[in-house]
């Protein structure tokens, strides 16, 4: 877990200067590629989050699926600003057929993005940092020989990370790596999104 | 009043972010328990952890629960073979880095901790079961060996690996074991838990494994560690004496588990699906246990076809013998159940305590005969004689009847002078 956190910090340290360089070249005010204007993007995404195992060694993986809308806010002094909001759903069940615990979750993840875009002929590559929160809830169900017990649960947290995306025409593919806090515990996450601009 | 409100507000805030200090016992938690009067049925219930020192880190007054502990079997065998180490040094080597601090996902709901996931539910249940089982062995069995009187170590979601530097665990399916190398227990994580109650959540399994520690310390321990070491290091398939010793060990574990749970079929909730066949010969009240005899295990006589498949010619040594000592264990356990008059109260109060005392005498006999023979010898009659000398006359009479009925041919006629 600690090794993962150090990798991310190292990654961010590298990304900062790179972002500045690409911003200086490609996203001067009035020349923000195809990102500025009134366009927005919608994407479907899969998110894999790793949290420390209960056993204290290794990690547990949680997978969530969802949709995300992205709205560029225009040029920043360096690069561009944007916001996006994702609605994600997750279901997980651990245990066996008889004794088990399951979770069904829905949560929203609003984020602020700052990055730069670099036109590459027919494509455009962008690199950005994101900072966001996630809030949601659902139910946790405990299965035993008695009637299943269903209880409400809340999900909260915050995330920080780096992502990059490639746009081909109206198509859009992006990947992210980040870390944060979920329900008071650290997590590392990776996201893959596939979308389109309109 | 103002200070109290501030105090409650502060505690409420700390608990809301999982930082409140309700870590040490007594702490109320929700765990999986067998229903009262229905030991085959399991449900969630709130219990009190009486001895918790830090429930967030798996620390109790008498044991510690550590995560991800890996014991490397071949490394330990090599260490035993090459180094002249004593028992505590062996345990230290097996411990290695000692695993990791457990990180349960607990939620304080204002009155108790509840598990936020299955792993934590298993952890809390295990914590509760070890408290209960420890008390049973201390107060009911009255064990005074190191097993009960010294702190214990439980590796939660541990694994048994082949050797240092080979990270792939060779044993990590759903199960729970006692490892003498470590002088501790391991529970295993499984992505393929059967339709049954997981091993580490079954109170009978925990009691069974606890008795293995008692058996090791009472029979071998420090006094006869060299006997144990010679046996463990001996090459080749399990000998008849090895099968017998492991059978006695398993049988005593089963009868203690049955006594703790007050159920003869304590394994049945766990042994389902692929493991269902094993339930046929582990159920002490079942058809196999009712029919099993020493002769039957040697010839297959009187055993059902399913039981014969697993238990036929149990006493023949060979590769398959590894799996068959459980059948012999059922013979040992069922004999003791007969001796208790098929009642749990006499079993718990009048039979298990003297049985515990008899074990060290049995260990002396095993060590003496093994030393003379130069290899493991298991004079099973020494166990029965040590027990018969210590039980009440009423128990002695029923036990002698059971031994006469089930153990014909196991020793020379008249060897059990206590039954005359």
Determine the pLDDT at residue B98.
83
By mean pLDDT, which of B16-25, B107-116, B169-178, B327-336 is the weakest? Answer: B16-25
Determine the pLDDT at residue B70.
85
B interface with A, Cβ–Cβ < 8 A, is 17-18, 32, 35, 41-44, 66-68, 99-105, 114-121, 123, 156-157, 189, 193-198, 201
Contact across the interface for A94 and B118, Cβ inside 8 Å = yes
Rounded distance between C-alpha atoms, residue A85 and residue A100, angstroms:
32
Rounded distance between C-alpha atoms, residue B95 and residue B154, angstroms:
11
Residue of B nearest to A140 (CA): B116
pLDDT, one tens digit per residue, over B143-174 is 999 999 999 999 999 888 877 666 666 656 77
Determine the pLDDT at residue B106.
93
Determine the pLDDT at residue B402.
97
pLDDT, one tens digit per residue, over B179-217 is 998 999 999 887 666 688 999 999 999 999 999 999 999
pLDDT exceeds 80 at position B417 = yes
* B53 vs B174, higher pLDDT: B53
Rounded distance between C-alpha atoms, residue B216 and residue B222, angstroms:
10
Determine the pLDDT at residue B32.
97
Model confidence band, residue B403 (pLDDT cutoffs 50, 70, 90)? very high
Contact across the interface for B201 and A55, Cβ inside 8 Å = no
* A189 vs B272, higher pLDDT: A189
Question: What is the DSSP pairing of strand A41-52 with strand A149-168?
Answer: unpaired
A52 touches chain B (CB under 8 A): yes
Q: Averaged over B75-99, what is the pLDDT?
A: 84
Contact across the interface for A58 and B43, Cβ inside 8 Å = no
Determine the pLDDT at residue A27.
43
Q: Which of A55, A97, A149 sits opposite B156 (nearest CB)?
A: A55
pLDDT exceeds 80 at position B20 = no
pLDDT, one tens digit per residue, over B218-231 is 999 999 999 999 99
By mean pLDDT, which of B19-33, B118-132, B403-417 is the weakest? Answer: B19-33
CA distance A178 to chain B (A): 22
pLDDT exceeds 70 at position B250 = yes
Determine the pLDDT at residue A140.
97
Number of A/B CB contacts below 8 angstroms equals 94
What ipTM did this prediction achieve?
0.87
| Interface mutation target, options A51, A59, A99, A153, chain B, most CBs of B under 10 Å | A99
Q: Which run of H or E residues covers position A86?
A: strand A80-95
* B415 vs A20, higher pLDDT: B415
Contact across the interface for A54 and B117, Cβ inside 8 Å = yes
Determine the pLDDT at residue A23.
40
Contact across the interface for B35 and A95, Cβ inside 8 Å = no
Among B335, B325, B327, B334, residue whose Cα is nearest residue B307? B327
Contact across the interface for A58 and B68, Cβ inside 8 Å = yes
Residues of A in contact with B99 (CB under 8 A): 56-57
| Interface mutation target, options B33, B57, B116, chain A, most CBs of A under 10 Å | B116
pLDDT exceeds 90 at position B359 = yes
Among B38, B319, B364, residue whose Cα is nearest residue B223? B364
Determine the pLDDT at residue B172.
62
Question: Mean pLDDT of all residues in chain B?
Answer: 87
Contact across the interface for A54 and B42, Cβ inside 8 Å = no
Determine the pLDDT at residue B224.
94
Determine the pLDDT at residue B302.
59
Residues of A in contact with B123 (CB under 8 A): 54
CA distance A8 to chain B (A): 22
Q: At CB < 8 A and 24+ separation, what contacts does B78-84 make?
A: B78/B163, B80/B229, B80/B232, B80/B233, B81/B233
CA distance A101 to chain B (A): 5
Rounded distance between C-alpha atoms, residue B95 and residue B186, angstroms:
12
Residues of A in contact with B100 (CB under 8 A): 55-57
By mean pLDDT, which of A87-91, B47-51, B73-77 is the weakest? Answer: B73-77
pLDDT in tens, chain A (198 residues): 233 333 333 333 433 433 333 343 444 323 334 444 548 899 999 999 999 988 887 788 999 999 999 998 877 677 889 999 999 999 999 998 899 999 999 999 999 999 998 888 889 899 999 999 999 999 999 999 999 999 999 999 999 999 999 998 889 999 999 999 999 899 999 999 999 988
Q: Which of B115, B116, B198 sits opposite A96 (nearest CB)?
A: B198
Rounded distance between C-alpha atoms, residue B266 and residue B39, angstroms:
7
- The A residues from 82 to 101 touching B (CB cutoff 8 Å) are 94-101
Q: Averaged over B241-268, what is the pLDDT?
A: 94
| Interface mutation target, options A50, A51, A54, chain B, most CBs of B under 10 Å | A54
Q: Which of B44, B105, B196 sits opposite A54 (nearest CB)?
A: B105
Rounded distance between C-alpha atoms, residue B327 and residue B124, angstroms:
32
Phi, psi of B65 (to 5 degrees): -105, 120
Contact across the interface for B115 and A94, Cβ inside 8 Å = no
Determine the pLDDT at residue B243.
85
Question: Locate tokens 């290899």: which residue?
Answer: B375
Determine the pLDDT at residue A21.
37
* A170 vs B52, higher pLDDT: B52
pLDDT, one tens digit per residue, over B365-384 is 999 999 999 999 999 999 99
Residue of B nearest to A183 (CA): B17
| Interface mutation target, options B114, B117, B197, B199, chain A, most CBs of A under 10 Å | B117
pLDDT exceeds 50 at position B319 = no
Contact across the interface for B194 and A145, Cβ inside 8 Å = no
- For residue B105, give every residue at least 6 positions away whose Cβ sits within 8 Å of its Cβ, in sequence order, or none: A54, A183, A185, B115, B116, B117, B119, B120
Cα-trace Rg, chain A: 19
DSSP B419: G
CA distance B269 to chain A (A): 10
Q: Averaged over B98-106, what is the pLDDT?
A: 91
Rounded distance between C-alpha atoms, residue A15 and residue A128, angstroms:
9
Q: What is the pTM of this model?
A: 0.87
């Amino acid at each position: 877990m600690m090794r993962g956190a150090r990798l991310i910090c190292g990654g961010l340290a590298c990304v900062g200067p790179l972002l500045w360089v690409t911003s200086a070249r490609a996203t001067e005010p009035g020349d923000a590629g195809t990102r500025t204007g009134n366009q927005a993007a919608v994407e479907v995404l899969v998110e894999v989050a790793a949290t420390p195992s209960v056993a204290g060694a290794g990690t547990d993986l949680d997978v969530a699926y969802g949709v995300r809308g992205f709205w560029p806010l225009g040029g920043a002094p360096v690069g561009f600003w944007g916001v996006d909001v994702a609605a994600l759903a997750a279901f997980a069940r651990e245990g066996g057929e008889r004794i088990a615990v399951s979770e069904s979750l829905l949560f929203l993840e609003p984020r602020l993005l700052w990055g730069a875009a670099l036109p590459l002929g027919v494509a455009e590559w962008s690199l950005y940092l994101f900072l966001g929160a996630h809030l949601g809830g659902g139910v946790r169900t405990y299965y035993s020989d008695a009637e299943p017990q269903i209880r409400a649960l809340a999900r909260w947290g915050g995330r920080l990370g780096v992502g990059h995306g490639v746009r081909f025409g109206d198509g859009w593919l992006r990947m992210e790596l980040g870390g944060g806090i979920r329900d008071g515990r650290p997590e590392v996450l990776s996201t893959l999104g596939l979308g389109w601009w309109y | 009043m103002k200070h109290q409100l501030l105090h409650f507000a502060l505690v409420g805030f700390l608990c809301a972010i999982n930082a409140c200090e309700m870590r040490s016992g007594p702490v109320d938690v929700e765990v999986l328990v067998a229903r009262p009067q229905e030991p085959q049925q399991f449900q969630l219930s709130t219990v009190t952890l009486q001895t918790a020192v830090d429930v967030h880190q798996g620390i109790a007054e008498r044991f510690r629960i550590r995560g991800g502990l890996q014991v490397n079997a071949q490394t330990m065998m090599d260490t035993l073979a090459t180094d002249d180490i004593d028992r505590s040094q062996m345990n230290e080597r097996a411990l290695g880095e000692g695993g990791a601090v457990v990180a349960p996902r607990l939620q304080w709901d204002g009155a108790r901790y509840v598990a936020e996931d299955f792993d934590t539910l298993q952890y809390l249940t295990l914590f509760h079961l070890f408290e209960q089982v420890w008390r049973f062995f201390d107060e009911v069995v009255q064990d005074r060996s190191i097993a009960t009187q010294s702190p214990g170590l439980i590796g939660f979601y541990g694994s048994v690996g082949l050797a240092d530097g080979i990270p792939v665990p060779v044993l990590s399916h759903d199960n729970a074991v006692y490892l003498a190398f470590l002088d501790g227990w391991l529970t295993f994580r499984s992505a393929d838990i059967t339709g049954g109650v997981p091993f580490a959540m079954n109170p009978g399994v925990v009691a069974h494994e606890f008795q293995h520690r008692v058996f090791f310390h009472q029979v071998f321990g420090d006094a006869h560690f060299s006997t144990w070491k010679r046996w463990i290091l001996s090459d080749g398939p399990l000998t008849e004496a090895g099968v017998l010793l492991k059978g006695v060990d398993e049988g005593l574990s089963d009868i203690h588990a049955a006594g703790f749970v007050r159920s003869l079929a304590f394994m049945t909730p766990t042994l389902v699906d692929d493991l269902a066949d094993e339930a046929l010969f582990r159920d002490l009240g079942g058809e196999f246990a009712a029919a099993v005899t020493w002769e039957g295990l040697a010839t297959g006589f009187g055993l059902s076809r399913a039981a014969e498949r697993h238990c036929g010619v149990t006493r023949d040594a060979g590769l398959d013998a590894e799996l068959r000592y459980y059948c012999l264990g059922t013979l040992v356990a069922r004999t003791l159940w007969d001796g208790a008059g098929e009642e749990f109260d006499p079993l718990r109060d009048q039979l298990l305590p003297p049985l515990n005392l008899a074990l060290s005498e049995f260990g002396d006999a095993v060590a003496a005969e093994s030393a003379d023979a130069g290899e493991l010898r298991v004079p099973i009659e020494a166990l029965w004689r040590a027990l018969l000398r210590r039980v009440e006359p009423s128990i002695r009479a029923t036990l002698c009847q059971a031994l006469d009925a089930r153990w014909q041919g196991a020793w020379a006629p008249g060897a059990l002078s206590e039954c005359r």
